[in-house]
Structure 1
């Protein structure tokens, strides 16, 4: 009725006057009530058509468009809703009753009520234990409203209970009633005879004997029917008394399913029972059934020998008749120790001590001499116990000359040999410790390299040379990656390897000489491009800088251009007058234009292209501009820089051609010879001059031709000079000492001397002709003190001392010889005198 009223009012409003449109809109905006929680997402005026049709109300079709699972059940005539036919949904389910309301009405007349609901109508009758189960025990699914859903459950046992038995055969999975019955509940106890199938065919295991009587749950614990392994241990692991003794054997080899106690075990196949073993009770050996006893005798019999012979079979000495049946013991065969020398014939107790006849001291494998002879060890246990026989033989001893080279792993070589010869063994073996185990150099010698060169000392050292003397032996070029050449060969090792650090990894110049780099890294780090150790920089080519040196530049000192404080080019040009500054080894980049270094004496009047007139072969040389004109340059003039004549910025024109114009100050003649310089001098060289001295009336001969003009014309006087020798050589005469040329010598110089050479002088002695020895006598011998006038000519005046000499034979004074020496002697020789007749 509410829905019809809604539609009627809506129609009336729809077809009323336009002014009523607002009332219709207001009506549609007002819902008859909030929807339930399950339909809360549809509680919107714009979504009414989701459930309602215009003029038709809420139809089943609109409901089933959302409830598709229910639609499928109705079409298939299944479940509760499949029984209602064409009934409308709204007959049972109404809405707009609020969020908390239930949309489902359990009409007692229609479905019998929730508690009295006849479950048969849902297609699944509840019988047996199912009748007592609460609805929510099976219906676990929840709706959007969080209320219980009663749809979607399957009508099979697996629908609720799942496959708890895990049958491997698919045809058994739905046969729940075979065990649980139609009423459900716990399965009944069953044995093999109650099974509706053949257990052997289904599982491969026949249920016989005890297995046929066992309850299924004994093997299928928890109802798990998916057992795949068929071994006995799957079920009887807890029941076996053997533990893991026979884990590799099959139980059926000994046991039968009919009874476990009766076995078919054959003892002879494993351990034949003979003599007293055949009479013993099983439990004597098998004290525990869970452990398989070993087969050796000692496992059952008391170890009377205390494990002395556990490596040998008892049957080696004993028979099966008993422990007392002892056989002969072969020591070499059974103990692997042949008794020789003094060992042979010794009583066993000497070595194998014991306090009972059957007890023998056991020697471990590898027993050595020291096991018995430790009290005789004279070597303080320094040598291996197993090596006694290298020097000793069994049954006695012998002296053996110890050979260090053969008897040790360390042959003595080099400087080690004198230690042995001098008996200084304690150098390496202090406190009589001979077995040091030291074979490496580093174990005795201090490693001054601190391990950085490794342990192979013999790569550099030998025992032939003392370690401090290695410097003369070490081949740096062969044993290192850095070849020593030139200056490096003279450097002390510590200069490059401070603190004995030898593995530096440095091979480039800059890595050691960075602080020594005079270029302050301005020229880069590739020193070897220019330098060779200890040989300067012969590989440097100035072309590397982009400025090729030619002409005079090639001869110029580097410091002329590369100075610490660049000098300002002088106005007279870049000549030797400029003080040479200290070379700037940073070599800052210089300009390439001439004006960067050379002052333009022309003050720009001839442009900047200096090479138009000048060449680098000689800056003083200019293009032959003076080859024409009134003054042609020849000789030395052609070599002079222009500025020598064209001074003070004067133009290169308008100068006079007379010598005195430039050389007036150079005229040593003080203008006494006139301005015609060319009569004597020429441009190719001012000296030697072409002056003819004979025109003066004094011909130059001998040494006079070699004398400098100023030697005679010292004050610049070239006219009116006397021509006598004394005018120039009077001082030479007075300075002469041998002979003295005093004032008494009134003789012209040319009497003795000549112009070709003043020495030797000719002898001039017109007063007395000199003969014999007098010819070679020195003037001063007769003219003492330079006295030449009044000198006597008789012999006794000079030779009186010779006359009175007592050594004369005969004695002239005693014999009364005459003082007229010439009576006996001649001037040729005083010896060989003839007595007067």
Structure 2
């Protein structure tokens, strides 16, 4: 039998196909297009509604367009791919959708299933750390919801573990870690109650009852009231425990009666219990400071000698009384006073009428003409009126003499021009040191800000309090590097004034050097063009030197001369079309390479 020719074989196949189509139509099959009939298999249940509409997923003669159609339907995935977020956005590019998701394999196909044990969670926006790495998927991903819809805040999963019942808000990560929920890392220094002394070792529950952390009292008495009631003062001394006690140790008391009150404790007063004098509430009933207030019961004289017990009695021993001695009066006799006859001061037998002030007897000897008042004893002594050495306590004035100011380094006459000008002497340093002011009064009269009284040439200026705190390499720079003269405020605060010679850009990028450079090292610089400008650098643009685009000097006050954002602004010389296709070069050319032209639908591959 003769073998059929090629034409006969084609005609037979075509005839068979027509017969098959006719049979399908004749048997009542649903009306379908030729593409649907020739499909390789049934679509999955989720795509079944598109079984007769192939163009929903396919573009004729263009397989690459299929991914775009997928992302048109699956918009969240498309957004991840474009924004490089989520699992799909972190995949190594380029990948097509069908690389992982197949179709036409029947209604029961689960095209989105994956091996949970091998899934790399670090490719998502939520990397697993600590105990999260061992947690089962269904602990966070609720059934019936997409994996991407899982909450990323702690409280969504750990609400039942919140012993604070929402009082501290939902930001669990501020105290807890992924390694152990019960392990807290809270820094108490960030609160209004930093922990010091024994508070550091105290348990949280000692102050925060029932895990309630907000509105915890900050005063000592709130926590230590029990101690005050059982072993302490029972509320008599008020609630300001810190006045006497410290956090280092509750005992002993740190209260210093001599420094913290107006009543110095001497003699037996020093060993007397507080309650012996302070019998009532300290902050409501302050005891008087006169001896008689406490020693009335000890007064055997029944007030016949007045209430000034100290005239005869001492703090050393109440019962120890010396025979009357002028040393025990308000006017002890000292020096030449001890040799003066009584009648020289006491003009009558009314001894109390005798003047106690020096000026009462020494008015004729006052060379200061009452300028210093009546307290002659502050400077003069009873041994020799003219000898004042060591008597006057300058520390009792508003100007203490220390270091180089102290005698014998400086004489009184250096500041006080004569015997009548001791008062109202100017206190500012500049009053005496004007000739030493090399800053020409530019820094004001607060010389002590930098200079000290040990030596005028020694300085201790804190640059951190100035308008230009020192950081990085500025800390080790010598003052004279920036301050060319002692008129310190004349020094410029902008980088360019000092670093002009380091400007390799020749003012192309302006004078705001700190936009890229830091004080740590001039050669260390960084500028993120994507976040700090409106023009993102992509592909080949990211490798181009700054000077390739920025060639003109920056305008005054600007970081760099403004450039156009259209391609033709830089690539005009590359435009072989002589502007024939307009300034939108990016419609055909790619950022990766100027010579690489984008493909057009229906025109073949890239040229």
Provide TM-score, normalisation by structure 2: 0.34
The higher-RCO structure (CA 8 Å, 6+ apart) is 2
TM-score (norm 1): 0.26
| Structure with greater Cα Rg | 1
